[in-house]
Structure formats: structure tokens, C-alpha cells
């Protein structure tokens, strides 16, 4: 393990999106079929959506990759949603020694308010006024009624980064979270602007069970001190991982 006296930040920070969930699979099928359905019909609350069998496979393979490529971790921060907790459990089972898991609400899924559980068609049919408002405000700053905007998510991730500096300096940390939260880490750690975040969202969004790997520079105090080494690494697929353009 690294000495906290040498590092301001964690020496290694790996941010992982949860593996494939039942909602992911169902939504993808509806989109591909251009279905007339207005809702993604899942029998549970969003917080309770489980992984698919494929998702469990993804998580297990990613855990083995983390163990072989990055070695031991000091702690794992996990969103309280079932799909992230189940992902983390399968990943941690492959790590030796087994690190403690910390359930952390600040990295929960973005809240979608009245739009939760709707398909794209459902949003257009049931809330056309929100479609118009989103177009006017822009996707980054748009906050659905009862939900959150990207900057709202950034605020809670910013708070967690302060915790990592105070409690995990010099440590090797894994975060298991959701797609928008992964983008929020990039926004904050790399000082990305609105256009860059939305470009990633459109063309290179975090894949299921993907890894974003940051390494710290000993003695670095400027900026975040964390440099992106890999983005959207998917150890469970044939074309796993690529070096980041930094």
C-alpha cells in the first residue's frame, strides 16, 4: 500500500459502472424494436433492479481482471442500488485480500423524477412539454420535475471527492456506480466542460461493467493530482480496454 504522506489523493482510483441490469436489457430491446411501449416494465423499484445472468458474468470477469491487473484495493465505495451492490459483491469476491465495501448514497443513480421508468417514446407521448423544455435548456442543465440535472449529480460527487482526500489519501480505491456518475467523475477530475461531457454521453458513454482508471502522482498538489490512464475498459469483452487520450 502507498503512504498517505506522499499522496494528496488516492494513489489509484478505479471508477466502475455496474454490470448489465434487467432494466438495461429490457430498455435496449424496446429501443431496437422501436416498440410502442411507453414504460420499461420492471416489477421492482429502480433501486431494486437486479443484474441479468450476462451482467453477473460481466461482473465476475471484471473482478478477476481487477485482481490480476491492479492488485489489492483498500476500500470499495458502492452505490446503494441493488445492481451496483450485486456488481460489487461479484467483483470483491475475486479480490485478495477482500477490501471493505462502503455503501455510499452520494454515488447513487441520477434521479429522473416524473420521467423514471419511461421509454423515449413514453417521454414524448406523456410529457411533450418536458421534451420542449429539455431542448430549450439543454440536456446538461435540464432537471426533470422531481429529478436531477448533471450539475446536481456533480455536487454530490464533488462532496465524495473531498471524502477521498480526507480519508483515502495514498490508498487504492474502487468505486462502483452508474453511468452519469462515471461521467461526473470525469467532469470534476479533468475539468471538462458541458460540451465534452455531452460528447462522451452521445458517442462514448460508460459501458456496463466498464472501468475508468486514474493514477495519482506522488507529491502532486495542483488540480486533482489524478490522471486518467484508461477509459471505458471492458475486460469482459473481446476488445477490452484502450489507453486514454490524455
pLDDT, averaged per 10 consecutive residues of the chain (246 residues), comes to 72 97 88 81 90 97 96 96 98 97 98 94 95 97 98 98 95 98 97 97 96 84 76 79 46
pLDDT of residue 86: 98
Residue 4: the pLDDT is: 57
pLDDT at 5: 62
Query: So what's the pLDDT on residue 39?
Result: 86
Instruction: Give the whole-angstrom CA distance, residue 100 versus residue 95.
Output: 11
At residue 8, the pLDDT reads: 86
What local confidence, expressed as pLDDT, does residue 220 receive?
58
Q: What CATH topology corresponds to 12-22+52-112+150-233? A: Rossmann fold (3.40.50)
Residue extents of the structural domains in the chain: 12-22+52-112+150-233
Residue 45: half-sphere exposure toward Cβ, Cα within 13 Å: 8
Beta bridge partners of 39: 118
Residue 239: count other Cβ atoms within 10 Å of its Cβ.
6
DSSP string, 183-205: HHHHHHHTT--HHHHHHHHHHSP
pTM of the model: 0.92
Q: To which residue does cell 466498464 refer?
A: 210
CA distances from 218 to 70, 74, 226, 228 (A): 18, 18, 10, 15
Is 14 exposed, middle or buried, given 0-12, 13-18 or 19+ CB atoms closer than 10 A? buried
Amino acid at each position: 500500500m502507498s503512504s498517505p504522506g506522499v499522496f494528496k489523493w488516492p494513489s489509484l482510483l478505479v471508477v466502475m459502472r455496474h454490470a448489465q441490469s434487467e432494466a438495461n436489457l429490457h430498455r435496449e430491446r424496446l429501443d431496437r424494436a422501436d416498440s410502442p411501449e411507453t414504460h420499461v416494465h420492471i416489477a421492482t423499484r429502480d433501486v431494486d433492479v437486479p443484474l441479468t445472468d450476462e451482467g453477473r458474468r460481466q461482473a465476475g470477469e471484471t473482478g478477476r481482471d481487477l485482481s490480476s491487473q491492479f492488485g489489492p484495493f483498500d476500500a470499495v465505495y458502492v452505490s446503494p442500488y441493488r445492481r451496483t451492490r450485486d456488481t460489487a459483491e461479484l467483483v470483491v469476491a475475486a479480490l485478495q485480500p477482500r477490501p471493505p465495501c462502503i455503501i455510499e448514497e452520494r454515488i447513487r443513480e441520477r434521479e429522473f423524477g416524473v420521467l423514471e421508468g419511461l421509454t423515449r417514446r413514453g417521454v414524448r407521448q406523456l410529457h411533450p412539454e418536458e421534451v420542449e423544455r429539455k431542448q430549450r435548456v439543454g440536456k446538461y442543465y435540464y432537471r426533470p420535475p422531481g429529478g436531477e440535472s448533471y450539475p446536481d449529480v456533480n455536487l454530490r460527487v464533488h462532496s465524495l471527492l473531498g471524502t477521498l482526500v480526507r480519508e483515502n489519501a495514498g490508498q487504492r480505491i474502487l468505486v462502483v456506480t452508474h453511468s452519469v456518475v462515471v461521467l461526473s467523475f470525469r467532469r470534476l477530475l479533468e475539468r471538462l466542460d458541458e460540451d465534452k461531457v455531452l460528447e462522451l454521453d452521445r458517442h462514448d458513454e460508460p459501458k456496463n461493467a466498464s472501468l475508468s482508471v486514474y493514477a495519482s502522482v506522488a507529491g502532486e498538489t495542483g488540480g486533482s493530482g489524478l490522471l486518467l490512464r484508461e477509459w471505458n475498459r471492458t475486460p469482459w469483452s473481446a476488445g477490452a480496454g484502450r489507453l486514454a487520450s490524455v
